[in-house]
């Protein structure tokens, strides 16, 4: 079955520290991969996406993610976290099909940033 | 700015009293989605419209209905809300269906409380 796993429910880091949020997927083929961020009480904003090509993807707000096919992973990274990065982060996969845009979301990782 | 707008942002209803949530978009996108997101959970797709073509998810309860009178507007109707329907409801749009190639743009959500 298709699924997305975000193993870390809650992560706490100090401002200025580096960050890595983990995402693993289970899919029959290489899916399209996304990271979204959700601030409290807000909708989801796309940080970055991977479709093909270079496995290191740059996104907004200084985030990047690396696709590793052998590990079925798409981990999100940021070298130096800012207090404004505190939010919920969702990894999502989309099928490599032209009939649907259905996204499957992971359960999210809540990021807390200490000054 | 082109965007996805949801009204109201907060909605309180009584158990069993029908309620309608509204979504509008200025992006002129063909596809509109409704997601349900319960506390600390991933968004769950309820249904989507590809133009006027309605696509219901298999596990969406009959209590949830949707209307799309034109390209810009889409409504979520909950015929008889139960306590379990209290959640954040997210509307999203995408330009077309394209195997995940089309980014989904999310509105800020409507938080529904059922008393």
Q: Which of B30, B31, B46, B40 is nearest to B90 (CA)?
A: B46
pLDDT at A40 over 90: no
Contact list in A for residue B4 (CB cut-off 8 A) is 43
pLDDT classification of B17: cutoffs 50, 70, 90: very high
Q: What is the mean pLDDT of residues B70-77?
A: 96
Q: Which CATH class is domain B4-108?
A: mainly beta
Would you call A13 an interface residue with chain B, using a CB distance cutoff of 8 Å?
Answer: no
User: Across the interface, do A43 and B4 touch by the CB < 8 Å criterion?
Assistant: yes
- pLDDT score for B1: 66
**Tens digit of pLDDT for each residue in A20-38?**
999 999 887 778 899 999 9
Q: How far apart, in whole angstroms, are the C-alpha atoms of residue B14 and residue A112?
A: 35
pLDDT at B73 over 90: yes
Contact in structure between B93 and B4 (CB atoms under 8 Å): yes
So what's the architecture of A3-114 in CATH?
Sandwich (2.60)
For chain B, the domains span 4-108
User: Across the interface, do A107 and B41 touch by the CB < 8 Å criterion?
Assistant: yes
Please tell me which residue, A2 or B25, carries the higher pLDDT value: B25
For chain A, the domains span 3-114
Residue A15 CA, distance from chain mean position: 20
Would you call A41 an interface residue with chain B, using a CB distance cutoff of 8 Å?
Answer: yes
- pLDDT score for A41: 80
pLDDT at B3 over 60: yes
Q: What is the mean pLDDT of residues B50-68?
A: 94
pLDDT at A98 over 60: no
Contact list in B for residue A51 (CB cut-off 8 A) is 100-101
pLDDT classification of A96: cutoffs 50, 70, 90: low
Place of tokens 């991933």: B42
pLDDT > 90 in chain A, percent: 72
- pLDDT score for B96: 78
pLDDT classification of B25: cutoffs 50, 70, 90: very high
Would you call A30 an interface residue with chain B, using a CB distance cutoff of 8 Å?
Answer: no
């Amino acid at each position: 079955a298709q699924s997305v796993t975000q193993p870390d429910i809650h992560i706490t880091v100090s401002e200025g520290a580096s960050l890595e949020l983990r995402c693993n997927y289970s899919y029959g083929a290489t899916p399209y991969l996304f990271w979204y961020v959700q601030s409290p009480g807000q909708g989801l904003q796309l940080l970055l996406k991977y479709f093909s090509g270079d496995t290191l993807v740059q996104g907004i707000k200084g985030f990047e993610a690396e696709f590793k096919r052998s590990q079925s992973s798409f981990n999100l990274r940021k070298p130096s976290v800012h207090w404004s990065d505190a939010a919920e982060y969702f990894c999502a996969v989309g099928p490599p099909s032209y009939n649907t845009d259905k996204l499957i979301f992971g359960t999210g990782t809540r990021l807390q940033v200490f000054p | 700015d082109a965007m996805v707008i949801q009204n109201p942002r907060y909605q309180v209803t009584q158990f069993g009293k029908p309620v309608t949530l509204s979504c509008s978009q200025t992006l002129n996108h063909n596809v509109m989605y409704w997601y349900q997101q319960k506390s600390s959970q991933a968004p769950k797709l309820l249904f989507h419209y590809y133009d006027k073509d309605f696509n219901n998810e298999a596990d969406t309860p009959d209590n949830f209905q949707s209307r799309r009178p034109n390209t810009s507007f889409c409504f979520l109707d909950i015929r008889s809300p139960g306590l379990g329907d209290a959640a954040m409801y997210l509307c999203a749009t995408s330009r077309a269906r394209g195997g995940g190639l089309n980014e989904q743009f999310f509105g800020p959500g409507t938080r529904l409380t059922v008393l």
